[in-house]
């Protein structure tokens, strides 16, 4: 487990260096990295500790909730005999649907909003700012991953799934200029400019809720097309909510 976490952290910061180069060469807005890095690096380390703790929790959750009889039932449906790549794709879609629903509820319910509040205290998007997540936020995020063991995705594949999600989380928070080529990806995949709209005070935070895919935002009418907005219309949090407290870190 520790080895997997070290691989994940290496991927996180390795991809971060590449994203950082991209941000410096093609920035959307000016970022004072020297003053911001210690704050967001600290948040990333807190998130890393949470991830290690909750990885063990997730293993226990799988053992508790996924019984042999449940797997027998799924096997009876024939799903487990489907090719691995098909089951992996289905698991990704189910995971993103779970994220979409819980994300929407977090923004609508005052109690669950406390789990997500720290993440939305970001007043400037850039690759490392994505790691500002509370304990309860990460916990709710982990539950959606149950779709993978339910569909018989092997643990060795899950390592790469976890790395993909970490890198993607950094990707959608990038401080890079909005480019027209992104619109071709946005038919199904979340880009930095799609997620920037979610963080913007210019619109509703119940817009562009998907983590990985845009399909559920499109299906349920919460998608806002970046092509219809200008990057100059995006205004992030004012910073008044940026005070870090133990309650905000835990998410209660």
Question: Looking at residue 237, what is its pLDDT?
Answer: 61
Residue with tokens 């990707």: 171
CA atoms of 115 and 112, how far apart (whole Å) = 5
Choice between 74 and 90, residue whose per-residue pLDDT is larger: 90
**Model confidence band, residue 77 (pLDDT cutoffs 50, 70, 90):** confident
The pair of structure tokens assigned to 46 is 């807190």
**φ/ψ (deg, to 5) at 213:** -115, 150
- E strand map for 56-118: none
Is 135 within 8 Å of 250 (Cβ atoms)?
Answer: yes
Question: Looking at residue 212, what is its pLDDT?
Answer: 95
CA atoms of 40 and 130, how far apart (whole Å) = 9
The pair of structure tokens assigned to 15 is 């991809």
**φ/ψ (deg, to 5) at 205:** -75, 0
**Model confidence band, residue 96 (pLDDT cutoffs 50, 70, 90):** very high
Return the top range by mean pLDDT from 112-116, 185-189, 203-207.
185-189
pLDDT, tens only, 151-195: 999 988 988 898 899 899 999 999 999 988 999 999 999 999 999
Q: CA dihedral defined by 88, 197, 226, 33, rounded to 10 degrees? A: -90
Give the closest residue to 95 by CA, choosing from 212, 219, 227: 212
**Considering the chain, what is the average pLDDT of its residues?**
84
The pair of structure tokens assigned to 91 is 């698991």
**φ/ψ (deg, to 5) at 122:** -65, 125
pLDDT, tens only, 24-75: 999 988 888 888 888 888 888 888 788 778 777 777 777 777 777 777 788 7
Q: Which residues pair with 213 in a beta bridge?
A: 189
**Confidence (pTM):** 0.88
Is 7 within 8 Å of 159 (Cβ atoms)?
Answer: yes
Helix-helix angle 135-143:33-65, to 10 degrees:
50
Could you give the C-alpha distances from 64 to 53, 70, 92, 99, 137, in angstroms and in order?
17, 11, 22, 21, 21
Is 237 within 8 Å of 201 (Cβ atoms)?
Answer: yes
CA atoms of 172 and 193, how far apart (whole Å) = 7
pLDDT, tens only, 128-158: 888 888 888 888 888 888 899 999 999 889 8
CA atoms of 113 and 97, how far apart (whole Å) = 19
């Amino acid at each position: 487990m520790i080895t997997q976490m070290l691989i994940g952290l290496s991927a996180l910061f390795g991809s971060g260096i590449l994203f950082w180069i991209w941000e410096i060469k093609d920035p959307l807005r000016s970022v004072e990295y020297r003053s911001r890095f210690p704050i967001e690096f600290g948040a990333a380390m807190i998130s890393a500790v949470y991830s290690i703790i909750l990885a063990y929790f997730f293993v226990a959750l799988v053992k508790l909730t996924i019984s042999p009889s449940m797997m027998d039932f799924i096997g009876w449906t024939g799903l487990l005999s489907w090719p691995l790549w098909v089951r992996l794709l289905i698991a990704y879609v189910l995971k993103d649907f779970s994220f979409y629903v819980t994300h929407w509820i977090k923004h609508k319910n005052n109690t669950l909003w406390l789990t997500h509040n720290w993440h939305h205290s970001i007043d400037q998007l850039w690759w490392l700012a994505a790691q500002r997540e509370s304990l309860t936020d990460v916990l709710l995020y982990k539950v959606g991953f149950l779709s993978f063991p339910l569909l018989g995705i092997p643990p060795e594949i899950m390592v790469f799934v976890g790395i993909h999600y970490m890198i993607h989380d950094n990707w959608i928070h990038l401080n890079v200029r909005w480019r027209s080529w992104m619109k071709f990806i946005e038919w199904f995949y979340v880009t930095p400019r799609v997620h920037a709209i979610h963080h913007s005070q210019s619109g509703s935070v119940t817009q562009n809720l998907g983590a990985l895919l845009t399909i559920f935002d499109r299906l349920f009418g919460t998608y806002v097309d970046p092509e219809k907005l200008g990057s100059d219309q995006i205004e992030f949090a004012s910073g008044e909510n940026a005070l870090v407290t133990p309650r905000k870190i835990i998410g209660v």
